[in-house]
Amino acid sequence: MMVTFRKINKRGYLLNSMPKREMEFSDTEKLEWKPVEGMEGVYEKILSYDPDTGSYTRLLKFEKNGRGKEVLSHDFWEEAYIIKGTLEDLGKGLVFKEGMYACRPPGMKHGPYLSKEGCLLFEVRYYPERYCEKYGKK
């Protein structure tokens, strides 16, 4: 079953439309960790994916000394929460720890990252404009 939440703004555009498969709690241990392209010792589990917009939710795991190789900037929104461990932004010289949260708009530069002790994050990546294109105005 698909569930779509629709909220219309003052200009008539849909906001927060997120078609996702209805899913009760599921055992994420059954999902496979897959290597993240362009990173060493970094793996992901895709929890939810919308093929129409490319938006997805994932767990991201940095093994001890896992790292990215370059500064990141992308065309989607990204929200991240550190569940466990620490993550260092080598470009900014900042260390982020368990319980910290980030909300990155499209184009925001971040990374490259290194996790000396390992790290587990929960991430949501989405394209609000693609929802508007898909569903149109009210």
Please name the residues in contact with 123: beta carbons below 8 A apart, sequence gap of 6 or more. 57, 58, 59, 60, 78, 79, 80, 81
The Cα 109–Cα 56 span in angstroms is 20
pLDDT, the chain, mean:
83
Q: Which residue has the higher pLDDT, 55 or 18?
A: 55
Q: Which residue has the higher pLDDT, 117 or 21?
A: 117
Q: Which residue has the higher pLDDT, 132 or 33?
A: 33
Residue 29 corresponds to which tokens in the numbers above?
Answer: 């241990």
Residue 3 corresponds to which tokens in the numbers above?
Answer: 């569930």
Rounded (10°) CA dihedral 104, 105, 108, 112 = 30
pLDDT, tens digit, for every residue of 60-112?
999 999 999 998 888 878 999 999 999 999 999 999 999 999 999 889 898 89
Domains assigned to the chain:
35-135 (2.60.120.10)
Q: How many CB atoms lie within 10 A of CB 138?
A: 10
